[in-house]
Amino acid sequence: MNKRYISLTIILLIAIGGLPTILGNGENDSNQCYQRKLIQSDSRTLFIDDKIIYYFPFISKDCNYTLDIYGITECGQCDVNWELAIGFKNLPEDLERFFEEKLSENNEYVFPIHECGEFDQKIEMPGWIVAYINYIRINNKGSCPIQYSWEFSSKCPCSGKQALYPKVDIEQFSVTGGATIIKDGKILTNFNVIPGVQQTFIQVENRGFFTQKDVKVKVIGLPQGVNVSIYPESQIVKAHNLGTYQATFEVGPNVPSGTYKITVIAYSDNGVFDTIQLELIIP
């Protein structure tokens, strides 16, 4: 592993490691049962001036989270200059005093990277601090391509409502009067949209044995200028029944053409049920 990445890990863990002394310790009983789940994943190559921003879905303060970024930056006749930035939101006064001058004017904790070669950056954080993270930004400011994979996963206690095994799956995602993007939980095609309004519907299925009283759906990773409204905001889905949501996408006229990775998420206040990542294509 590149020594630069070891030092970054130490810096961040020292910063985050001191925070529980301010707001309370978030450690869990080592004998407790836990459930691990992959929440987000992505793989791509960033070229010069490329930038990607990842927004987190619902975060439970009772869970711990792991962010793993690994890949390679080319070495040779090019300039290695990229950065990993953690953007915070709604920081309480105690945390603002703790970070002091470590944050930029945009409330970002920025790690500049200048070394080439392979890297593997793993950061473990308790849910109570992740709840204050707005986004993570990766920005290639140099001329060397960056090839990386991103994995964001949770480790949640099995106790409470999660022990009821809420098997709620994303079943279908279709354009009204058009293509079916997801069927039986499998991706059939890409989601193609043009500037304007696109009506779709998303269907989830409760395959478990218990009624889920607060099932919600959201779409993350949409490029700037693309918005989605979902109705109803939440609903009760009984065991072995379906829940259907109307999702209205609005695509602005100035959204750049391209392929964007978006994620459809089914969740409740207890955590994430299911995620499916697909490609949004704007011609």
Q: What is the mean pLDDT of residues 35-55?
A: 84
Final residue in a domain of this structure, among 140, 158, 176: 158
Q: In what order do the strands lie in the sheet with 64-73?
A: 34-46, 146-157, 64-73, 117-126
| Same domain (yes/no): 154, 122 | yes
Instruction: Please indicate, yes or no, whether the overall pTM of this predicted structure exceeds 0.85.
Output: no
Say yes or no: 152 and 169 in one domain.
Answer: no
Return the structure tokens found at 266: 């089914």
173, 277: one domain? yes
Report the C-alpha gap between 89 and 135 in whole angstroms: 9
d(CA 212, CA 93): 37
Q: Are strands 271-282 and 191-192 parallel, antiparallel or unpaired?
A: parallel
Judged on CB neighbours under 10 Å (0-12, 13-18, 19+), 73 is buried
What is the torsional sign of CA 148, 133, 258, 139? Answer: negative
Query: Can you tell me the distance from the alpha carbon of 87 to that of 207, in angstroms, rounded to the nearest whole number?
Result: 37
Q: Which two tokens stand for residue 183?
A: 């069927």
Give the sign of the dihedral formed by CA 148, CA 69, CA 79, CA 221: positive
On whether both 8 and 130 belong to a single domain, the answer is yes
Q: Looking at the structure, do residues 101 and 45 belong to the same domain, yes or no?
A: yes
Residues 53 and 125 in one domain: yes
Are 166 and 262 in the same domain? Answer: yes
- State the Cα–Cα distance between residues 157 and 31, nearest whole angstrom: 11
Residue 109, strand partner residues: 86
Residues 178 and 132 in one domain: no
> Taking residues 130-141, what's their average pLDDT?
86
Domain boundary among 158, 174, 196: 158
17 φ, ψ to 5°? -60, -30
Same domain, 152 and 171: no
Average pLDDT over every residue of 211-215: 88
Dihedrals phi, psi of 5, to nearest 5 degrees: -75, -30
CATH of the domain at 178: 2.60.40.10
Q: What is the pLDDT of residue 107?
A: 81
Distance of CA 92 to the CA centre of its chain: 23
The token pair that represents 102 in the structure block: 């470590």
Mind listing the pLDDT tens digit for each residue in 96-105? 776 666 777 7
Average pLDDT over residues 239-252: 94
Instruction: pLDDT band for 31, please (50, 70, 90 cuts).
Output: very low
Tokens of 118: 């392979």
Residues 154 and 179 in one domain: no
pLDDT tier, 76 (very low <50, low <70, confident <90, very high otherwise): confident
User: What CATH number does residue 76 fall under?
Assistant: 2.60.120.380
Burial state string for 156-193 with b = 16 or more CB within 10 A and e = fewer than 16: bbeeeebeeebebbbbbbbbeeeeebbeeeeeeeebeb
The domain total for the chain is: 2
Are residues 97 and 16 part of one domain? yes
Domain boundary among 158, 178, 196: 158
Range of the domain at 46: 3-24+31-158
